[in-house]
């Protein structure tokens, strides 16, 4: 079997690497910055890495794989996040390592310990298989010491390489080392003033310019670069992780492409082999703008999982990761529908993503969605709008009547209905304006009402394709443009100018309800 999907292409690259280095085990890394809560990017990076390792296990069942979820918790807090409590307290600790700052929630040993706990809970809740790693622990325990010694040994080569990438005015003060100030405990306020390469120590002054973010204490001293007394800057730190932890594979966003290239060159200077890297594109909001936590555009992970099943989000992460994709509340229904349609038609196709998604989302959603005919999320939303109904049991009963087969998997659809109801309440209803029908096509509306009444009286089956043809014919017989006719019907049924396939929708609502809606419209008249 030829595997052409991207996880298999990546798995083949890893397999080739293992052949070069003579190994039968793979360590992949994902990164997490614990200055904030886990977000949709964190989810995507772990999910996509898991897809690749699943593919590798398919190609080479005997290979051992693991994911290291690495928390950069020795990083200094640069600014106070806007969505956290005790902002005034946090302001006093700016510049300190995240594991040295009190937990603003008052639950854990430090700010980072709280965020790291949330990361583990977050990953555990989706059944991801991973090993957690703390930057603070790796530095303090000596795991990074050999790499740090090599950074000191190759200080000049790394400096020359790095300085070529930064502005000339910053080059004289640049150093890979950031000792933690023994007086104030800050990390990014220190400036290296001297090196003792043999002793692996640095002299420093706590007086680095910080653009007024926080006060430097002015302390001077000497610290070892080993044992957690000192951290290296981001791009060197990335190379240090790869070297010390033996990382074989890592993904990164398009915004870190230059960093990844530089870190790869640094790890070679250290005597290591850079991992196989995979660049993914960033997500855009529904208007095509880059999603930013600061701006608050796009959609959060919490919102997605409140309004849609986790497997639809895994689908989004799987599909074409090297293409920028829009995601946001207005387009969430069509993304969920694309996943549902995929399951209905492509589950048995070669290289289908469905098995990948199913393995990761196992246990995350009540029931499993089988192949075959499905009811879309959008159709459920349209039904909720048409019924003006907030009772999930009534919506469920309508769906089961429309498509009896879903009764065998009703647990999945009950959850999907709950998701759609949450979207209806929180997204559609606030600020929704109802479009009124204009009554110019009332003769056709009357004809459709009569035809549906006749079908109901004859006990005719509500076949969506037959109904679709019949609705078209009503417009054709009266020389009405299809576009105008459908817009009128959607306004009558939904109070908006567009909607689902009309034959399926009429079948879903049922003859009696449709006749009732059409009759009510006619009775209101143009001045009703």
Q: Hey, where are the domains in the chain? A: 6-140+236-284, 148-153+166-232, 301-428, 442-524
Strand spans (E) along 313-408: 325-326
- 442-524 matches 6-140+236-284 in CATH topology: no
**Which pTM was predicted?**
0.86
**CA terminus-to-terminus distance, the chain:** 65
- Hey, what CATH topology would domain 6-140+236-284 get? Rossmann fold (3.40.50)
The reported pLDDT for the residue numbered 365 is 45
Using the Cα atoms of residue 359, residue 364, residue 369 and residue 374 in order, give the sign of their dihedral: negative
The reported pLDDT for the residue numbered 367 is 47
Mark out the alpha helices in 203-256 (DSSP H runs).
234-245
- CATH 1.10.10.350 assigned to domain 442-524? The reply is yes
Q: Which of 514, 524, 442 is nearest to 478 (CA)?
A: 442
The reported pLDDT for the residue numbered 299 is 79
The reported pLDDT for the residue numbered 446 is 96
The reported pLDDT for the residue numbered 296 is 55
434-492: pLDDT as tens digits = 888 888 999 999 999 999 999 999 988 888 999 999 999 999 999 999 999 999 999 99
User: What is the distance of C-alpha 414 from the center of its chain?
Assistant: 24
Output the six-digit token pair for 212: 């007024």
342-395: pLDDT as tens digits = 887 765 556 678 888 887 775 444 445 655 568 899 999 989 988 888 899 999
The reported pLDDT for the residue numbered 333 is 95
Q: Which of 153, 184, 347 is nearest to 266 (CA)?
A: 153
Angle ∠(25,31,34) on CA atoms, nearest 5: 140
The reported pLDDT for the residue numbered 190 is 94
Residue 381 contacts residue 413 (beta carbons within 8 Å): no
Residue 424 contacts residue 377 (beta carbons within 8 Å): no
User: Mean pLDDT for each 10-residue chunk of the chain (528 residues)?
Assistant: 83 96 97 88 93 95 97 94 90 95 97 96 88 98 98 98 94 95 94 97 92 84 98 97 98 95 98 97 81 64 89 91 89 92 70 79 52 81 87 91 82 92 93 86 96 92 91 95 94 89 89 93 80
The reported pLDDT for the residue numbered 293 is 54
CATH of 148-153+166-232 given 2.60.40, 3.40.1130, 2.30.30, 3.30.530:
2.30.30
User: Could you give the C-alpha distances from 517 to 263, 346, 446, 506, in angstroms and in order?
Assistant: 65, 37, 11, 11
Q: Which of 184, 248, 211, 209 is nearest to 25 (CA)?
A: 248
Angle ∠(113,104,227) on CA atoms, nearest 5: 35
Q: What SS3 class is residue 515?
A: helix
């Amino acid at each position: 079997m030829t595997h052409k999907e991207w996880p298999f292409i990546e798995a083949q690259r890893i397999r080739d690497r293992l052949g070069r280095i003579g190994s039968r085990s793979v360590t992949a890394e994902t990164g997490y910055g614990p200055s904030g809560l886990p977000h949709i990017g964190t989810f995507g990076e772990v999910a996509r890495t898991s897809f690749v390792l699943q593919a590798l296990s398919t190609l080479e069942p005997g290979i051992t794989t693991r994911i290291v979820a690495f928390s950069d918790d020795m990083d200094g807090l640069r600014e106070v996040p806007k969505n956290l409590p005790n902002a005034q307290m946090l302001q006093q600790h700016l510049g300190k390592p995240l594991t040295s700052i009190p937990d603003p929630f008052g639950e854990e040993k430090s700010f980072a310990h709280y965020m790291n706990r949330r990361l583990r809970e977050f990953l555990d809740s989706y059944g991801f298989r991973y090993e957690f790693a703390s930057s603070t622990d790796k530095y303090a325990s000596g795991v990074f010491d050999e790499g740090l010694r090599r950074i000191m040994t190759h200080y000049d080569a790394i400096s020359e390489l790095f300085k070529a990438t930064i502005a000339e005015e910053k080059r004289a003060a640049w150093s890979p080392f950031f000792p933690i100030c023994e007086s104030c405990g800050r990390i990014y306020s220190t400036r290296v003033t001297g090196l003792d390469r043999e002793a692996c120590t640095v002299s420093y002054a706590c007086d680095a310019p910080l653009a007024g973010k926080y006060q430097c204490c002015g302390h001077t001293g000497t610290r070892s670069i080993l044992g957690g007394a000192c951290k290296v800057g981001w791009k060197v730190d990335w190379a240090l992780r790869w070297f010390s932890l033996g990382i074989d594979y890592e993904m990164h966003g398009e915004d870190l492409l230059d960093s990844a290239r530089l870190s790869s060159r640094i790890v070679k200077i250290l005597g290591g082999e850079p991992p196989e890297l995979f660049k993914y594109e960033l997500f855009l909001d529904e208007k095509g703008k880059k999603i930013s936590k600061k701006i608050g555009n796009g959609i959060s992970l919490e919102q997605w999982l409140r309004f849609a099943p986790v497997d639809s989000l895994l689908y989004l992460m799987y599909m074409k990761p090297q293409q920028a994709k829009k995601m946001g509340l207005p387009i969430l229904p069509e993304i969920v529908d694309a996943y549902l349609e995929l399951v209905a038609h492509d589950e048995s196709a070669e290289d289908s993503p469905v098995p990948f998604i199913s393995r990761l989302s196992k246990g995350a959603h009540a029931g499993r969605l089988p192949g075959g005919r499905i009811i879309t999320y959008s159709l459920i939303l349209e039904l909720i709008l048409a019924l003006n109904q907030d009772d999930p049991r009534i919506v469920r009963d309508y769906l089961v009547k429309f498509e009896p087969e879903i009764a065998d998997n009703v647990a999945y659809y009950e959850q999907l209905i709950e998701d759609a109801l949450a979207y209806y309440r929180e997204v559609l209803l606030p600020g929704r304006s109802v479009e009124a029908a204009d009554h110019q096509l009332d003769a056709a509306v009357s004809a459709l009402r009569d035809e549906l009444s006749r079908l109901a009286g004859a006990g005719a089956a509500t076949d969506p394709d037959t109904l679709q043809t019949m609705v078209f014919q009503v417009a054709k017989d009266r020389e009405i443009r299809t576009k105008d006719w459908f817009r009128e019907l959607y306004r009558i049924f939904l109070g908006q100018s567009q909607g689902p396939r009309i034959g399926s929708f009429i079948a879903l609502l049922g003859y009696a309800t449709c006749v009732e809606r059409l009759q009510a419209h006619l009775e209101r008249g143009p001045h009703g």
